[in-house]
Amino acid sequence: MDRVVQIIGLYRQDLQGLDEESLRSCGEVWTINDWYRPYPWLKHPDRVYNLHPQESMTDVPPYRFVNWKQEYKEAISRGVKIITPFRYDAGLNTNLLPIYQLEETFSVTQLQCSIAILMGVAILKGVDKIILKGVYLREEEYKYQVEGILQMAEYARCRGIEVEMPYEKKWQEKRSLVFDWASVGNGLVPYWMRRSNVGNTLQIIIDGVISNGSKKY
């Protein structure tokens, strides 16, 4: 049976009318950050990825990451994998992102946002199909992410992985207007790849070894 991964962004309009059973019937469900806010009905995603260091989640506006520790603990108790590139509180048994494997495989341009990184993990795991849902990226704040996602889709397709992206045509039409990557190259390092926190409690760990050393990502 083909392995299908659905990567669920936070653009809730795309998932209107769906419930958890119908969503899960289409493949694995991977999502991000504070998914419980737009999708309170989604109690059992297979994976939740959060690339934010814990210290940055304390000063966000009140509509983001509300009660996130409790939400994460409850999700973990239901069997949800929470995956991060940083150590979180000891009480949160999170899996750690295989950041070094990603860096060795993909360019920094390809790894410019959470959605692209989830696509990269899916590629590394050899899935057969990647579907993006709830990934809009039309607002000014998120337009810079389009190029990395398109490059990741091209990489996947060259390796026989099917990629389904409802907004791809619109992204391609505006691709040259999104960001001038030619002037940046691989010099722009996303915050989750910076090593400034190495040595403290937010240390980045190698290749997805969970904080207690007992599981893989």
In single-letter form, the type of residue at position 110 comes to Q
CATH number of 29's domain: 3.90.1480
Which domain covers residue 30, as residue numbers? Answer: 4-208
Burial of 144 (0-12, 13-18, 19+ CB in 10 A): middle
C-alpha to C-alpha distance for 25 and 10, rounded to whole angstroms: 19
What does the pLDDT look like over 133-144, one tens digit per residue? Answer: 999 986 655 677
Radius of gyration, alpha carbons of the chain: 17
Residue 144 lies in a domain: yes
Residue 214 lies in a domain: no
Residue 38 lies in a domain: yes
Residue 216 lies in a domain: no
Q: Is 9:133 a contact under the CB 8 Å cutoff?
A: yes
What does the pLDDT look like over 7-30, one tens digit per residue? Answer: 999 999 999 889 999 999 999 999
What does the pLDDT look like over 60-107, one tens digit per residue? Answer: 666 678 788 889 999 999 999 999 887 787 678 888 888 889 989 998
